[in-house]
Amino acid sequence: MSTIASLHIGEIGYISEESLDFIPLKLLEMGCLPGAEVQLVQIAPLKDPLYICVNGSHLAIRKETAAQIIILKANS
Amino acid sequence: MPKNDIKVALIGNPNTGKTSLFNQLTGLNQKVGNYPGVTVDKKQGTSKLSTTQNAVITDLPGTYSINPTSLDESIVLKTLLKKDIKESPDVILVVADIENLKRNLLLFSQIKDLEIPTVLAINMVDQMTRKGISIDLSLLKKELNTEVVLISARKNQGIDDVKAAIIRCHVAAKASPLCGINSKIDPDYFHKLKEISPNYSLYELWLMVTQNNYPETITKEEKDKLLAFKKDVSKLKKYQHKETIYRYQEINKILKKTYIVDKSKATDLRSKLDKIFTHKIFGYAIFALILLVIFQSIFDWASVPMDFIDSTFAQISDFTKNNLQPGILTDLLTEGIIPGIGGVIIFIPQIAILFLFIAVLEETGYMSRVVFLMDKIMRRYGMNGKSVIPLISGTACAIPAIMATRTISSWKERLITILVVPFTTCSARLPVYAILISLIIPKTKIFGFLNLQGLVLLSLYALGFATAILAAYILHKTLKIESKSFFVIEMPNYKLPSIKNVGFDVLEKTKAFVFGAGKIILALSIILWFLASNGPESYKNAEKNVIENADNQTLSSEEIQQKVASAKLENSYIGIMGKSIEPAIKPLGYDWKIGIALITSFAAREVFVGTLATIYSVEADDENTTTIKQKMASEVNETGGKLFNFPVGMSLLVFYAFAMQCMATLAIVKRETKTWKWPLIQLFGMTGLAYVSSFIIYQILS
């Protein structure tokens, strides 16, 4: 099972419906919706937080949050 | 405010140019206050909408939605739900960024559902072509059922359109909701909710339930009924999720018809800059370099105007002394008021430079990268990446820094940040440091270009930061507070800072500081002058005693004058106070005069210099024009050596680095933590640490 935390830099995934219950409301409001395209832009030097681009928003979230959001990778 | 002024609330996501628009609309007619009952800054300004109509515009903190997760955001909710006629806005002006229109419209759709007349201003349209964006304005107006205006606040485009739209919106009939959350989620549930009260819109009632935030005007019966809806927490959460998704669906439908982005035209400067600024080596190196530049400039650039202010006030004081009738009022003016004002004015260069740097770093979008770089490190010490901004702001003043912790959503991380911020070297310590460093550290250059005095100052800043981090770590390990840490931050696009925004920011914060701290300093200067020039019986006899004793010796009249002044000060009220604490501070290397300055600087650190200025100007003879620095350098101790020698100077530097000497900060901490427990812990913990460290330093060095 892939999550946002398992993406490589530059890789793209799509947020899966099943992770809806795990996405905090705040992230939903900022555009992390089921079905949305999410790209990992950058990882902070100490491997955390992660810098993602989702639904046109550029956000930094912590790894523990990212690990809860299930995605389908673009190539699979 | 006149009755017919339109009350406008300015709302928008962070980084949408809300502040730019506020500045364009209000210009210099701004004032900063506090929201009633809370200490968050409330920026208000008046704007001339037409020849006959004015508006009072309130700038609200930036927020992504009206479901708050931090204190800052809860202000927005409170303002919107307030049913107080005097406070509630007539028109809401929502600012959106053309590039992130979809996300910005989420907030807009929530506000529209409150059924308050709303104007949508889409900002940064000057970049539309470059980003490959096109928009169908008339269709968007129709679909959103509201006034929509395209603007570029930085380039002053479309501001008149905004003003006209506010007037049109104000006279138009009651606004209608945009999404109408009831139908799609659970029609039955929302129908029952709506039946509770006809006085509120459905969305207002929903917000009261989900946010547990009730306006004063609600009846007890209505509130009880709403509380019944609160019972099923997981259902509320599920419905909020559904609501958000539903809103995005509606927004997508509307944008599909009206908003087109050609991604091939987008330039990718952001990712190139991000690669550099968030690089694992360069990122930290650049951050360190920026900090170094800030600190060097505070010490180097600011010293020129500061020396000028210092000597100017000495001259003004001498001038008034020589040209006014001698008497108590002249004394008050030359020894109390003028040095007091000088003690406030002298900070302006340093504070302005610091605020300038912070404003520029915020405006460019660089601060978010710092948060990104620092989050993991800060978390180890019980804080989070957002704590970096309060810690850096703390180098200007702890008060705005403690207010800046409001964006941190975890209570434990926020509390730790609040508790350690006063360790960072605020600008009030700078005059104390500056004067002590110039007295005990030689003005030599290391490697031919590094200023030794500057390096010592830098190490004092480093000491402050290190202590803050260490204290945070101890608090992190000892405080038993359950608090969920949730962290998300937007990485805004890089922007060139707008001179107008930076200028307003620096002006406003410097003004707030000067008038806030200035009042205390000036008042204390006057009290001090009074305490120094009055005393019990022994004070009144001081002159007589000195002259009687002088009969047995051969002294010039000048020497007698000096002895009289000195005896007077020693026997004044303040001299008595200083002497009574002398036993406690003697092991730190201080005499009773420094003791006086220590007492008074519990009000505010910078008062230290002002106090010494008062003490020495009371004591100094009239003929010499000497600045405070020279007076301190020529002070001698009991053994005839310099009073401000190396051990005493170092001991004082360390004392001022650690001690909690700022009543205003204690008051803010009390208000932010809503209890006296934390400010008292701060006061005793920090001052205790200061005493012990100064004791050790002095005993080792002397």
Domain match, B247 and B224 both = yes
Task: Work out the angle at residue B62's Cα, subtended by the Cα atoms of residues B58 and B66, and round it to the nearest 5 degrees.
Answer: 95
User: Tokens standing for B315?
Assistant: 């001259």
Residue B620 has pLDDT above 60, yes or no: no
Q: How far is B24 from chain A (nearest CA, A)?
A: 27
Q: Could you say which of A20, A23, A25 has the minimum Cβ distance to residue B67?
A: A25
Binding residues of B are: 12-19, 23, 26-27, 37-41, 59-62, 123-126
pLDDT reported for residue B618: 56
Residue B625 has pLDDT above 60, yes or no: no
**SS3 sequence of B187-251:** HHHHHHHHHCCCCCCHHHHHHHHHHCCCCCCCCHHHHHHHHHHCCCHHHHHHHHHHHHHHHHHHH
In whole angstroms, how far apart are CA B1 and each of B32, B45, B50, B80, B310?
Answer: 15, 11, 17, 20, 41
Residue B39 has pLDDT above 60, yes or no: no
Q: Could you say which of B64, B99, B372 has the minimum Cβ distance to residue A44?
A: B372
- Percent residues over pLDDT 90 in chain B: 33
Do A60 and B99 lie within an 8 Å CB cutoff? no
Domain match, B25 and B165 both = yes
pLDDT bracket for residue B2 (50, 70, 90) = low
pLDDT reported for residue B587: 93
pLDDT reported for residue B673: 86
Dist. CA B673–CA B655, nearest whole Å: 26
In a domain, residue B272? The reply is no
Residue B687 has pLDDT above 90, yes or no: yes
Residue A12 has pLDDT above 70, yes or no: yes
Domain match, B62 and B113 both = yes
Domain match, B127 and B224 both = no
Mean model confidence pLDDT for chain B:
85
Domain match, B573 and B668 both = yes
Domain match, B165 and B67 both = yes
CA dihedral B657, B661, B664, B665 (to 10 degrees): 50
Q: How far is A57 from chain B (nearest CA, A)?
A: 7
Residue B490, SS3 per DSSP: strand
* Closest residue on chain A to B488 (Cα): A61
In a domain, residue B493? The reply is no
Q: Could you say which of A30, A48, A65 has the minimum Cβ distance to residue B376?
A: A48
Residue B370, SS3 per DSSP: helix
Which residues make beta-bridge pairs with B9?
B58, B92
Give the torsion sign (CA, B433, B434, B438, B439). negative
Q: How far is B176 from chain A (nearest CA, A)?
A: 22
DSSP code string of B285-300: HHHHHHHHHHHHHHHH
pLDDT in tens, A26-65: 899 999 999 999 999 999 998 989 999 998 889 999 999 9
Question: Which chain B positions have a beta carbon within 8 Å of A24's beta carbon?
Answer: 486, 488
Q: Which residue has the tokens 């889409």?
A: B122
In a domain, residue B317? The reply is no
Do B375 and A28 lie within an 8 Å CB cutoff? no
Kindly give the pairing relationship between strand B6-12 and strand B91-97: parallel
pLDDT reported for residue B84: 61
Q: Does A12 touch chain B (CB under 8 A)?
A: no
Between B459 and B303, residue with greater pLDDT: B459
In a domain, residue B672? The reply is yes
pLDDT reported for residue B593: 84
Give the lowest-confidence range in B97-111, B310-324, B550-564.
Answer: B550-564
pLDDT bracket for residue B614 (50, 70, 90) = low
Dist. CA B154–CA B346, nearest whole Å: 33
* Closest residue on chain B to A22 (Cα): B241
Beta strands in B516-643 (DSSP E): none
pLDDT reported for residue B624: 47
Give the lowest-confidence range in B105-114, B573-582, B620-629.
Answer: B620-629
Between B250 and B29, residue with greater pLDDT: B250
Residue A76 has pLDDT above 60, yes or no: no
Domain match, B191 and B164 both = no
Query: What DSSP designation does B85 have?
Result: T
Domain match, B363 and B437 both = yes
Domain match, B12 and B66 both = yes
pLDDT in tens, B369-412: 999 999 999 999 999 898 988 898 888 778 778 887 888 888 89
Q: Which of A48, A58, A61, A68 to mutate to test the interface with B (most CBs of B within 10 A)?
A: A58
CATH class of the domain whose range is A4-75:
mainly beta
Domain, as residue range, for B142: 6-172
pLDDT in tens, B162-215: 999 999 998 876 677 777 776 678 888 888 888 888 888 888 899 998 988 888
pLDDT reported for residue B552: 66
Domain at B54, CATH number: 3.40.50.300
Element housing B133 (H / E): strand B133-135
B497-503, long-range: CB within 8 Å, 24+ apart, which pairs? B497/B359, B497/B360, B497/B363, B497/B364, B498/B20, B498/B154, B498/B363, B500/B20, B500/B23, B501/B19, B501/B20, B501/B23, B501/B359, B501/B363, B502/B356, B502/B359, B502/B360, B502/B363
pLDDT reported for residue A49: 94
Residue B110 sits at φ, ψ, to 5 deg, of -65, -45
Query: With contact defined as beta carbons under 8 Å apart, do B77 and B61 qualify?
Result: no
Residue B127 CB contacts under 8 Å (≥ 6 apart), including other chains: B98, B99, B133
Dist. CA B79–CA B70, nearest whole Å: 15
Between B598 and B163, residue with greater pLDDT: B163
Residue B622 has pLDDT above 50, yes or no: no
pLDDT reported for residue B342: 81
Give the torsion sign (CA, B51, B53, B56, B59). negative
pLDDT reported for residue B310: 81
Domain match, B47 and B81 both = yes
Q: Could you say which of A27, A31, A45 has the minimum Cβ distance to residue B373?
A: A45
pLDDT reported for residue B569: 76
Binding residues of B for GTP are: 12-19, 37-41, 59-62, 123-126
Q: Does A34 touch chain B (CB under 8 A)?
A: yes
Between B555 and B632, residue with greater pLDDT: B632
Domain match, B528 and B645 both = yes
CA dihedral B562, B565, B571, B574 (to 10 degrees): -120
Domain match, B157 and B191 both = no
Alpha carbon B327 to its chain's center: 42
pLDDT reported for residue B537: 81
Q: Could you say which of B100, B271, B491 has the minimum Cβ distance to residue A60?
A: B491
Nearest Cα neighbor of B568 from B403, B331, B320, B293 is B331
Domain count, chain B: 4
Residue B467 has pLDDT above 90, yes or no: yes
Q: Does A10 touch chain B (CB under 8 A)?
A: no
pLDDT in tens, B138-163: 999 999 989 999 999 988 999 999 99
Report ipTM (2 d.p.): 0.94
- Percent residues over pLDDT 70 in chain B: 92
Question: Which of the listed ranges B269-273, B535-539, B561-565, B656-660 does the model predict with the highest average pLDDT?
Answer: B656-660
Residue B536 has pLDDT above 90, yes or no: no
In a domain, residue B273? The reply is no
Residue B626 sits at φ, ψ, to 5 deg, of -120, 145
pLDDT reported for residue B560: 74
Do B373 and A65 lie within an 8 Å CB cutoff? no
In a domain, residue B487? The reply is no
In whole angstroms, how far apart are CA B24 and each of B18, B94, B155, B159, B497?
Answer: 10, 15, 9, 7, 15
The amino acid sitting at B177 is: P
pLDDT in tens, B510-521: 887 777 667 777
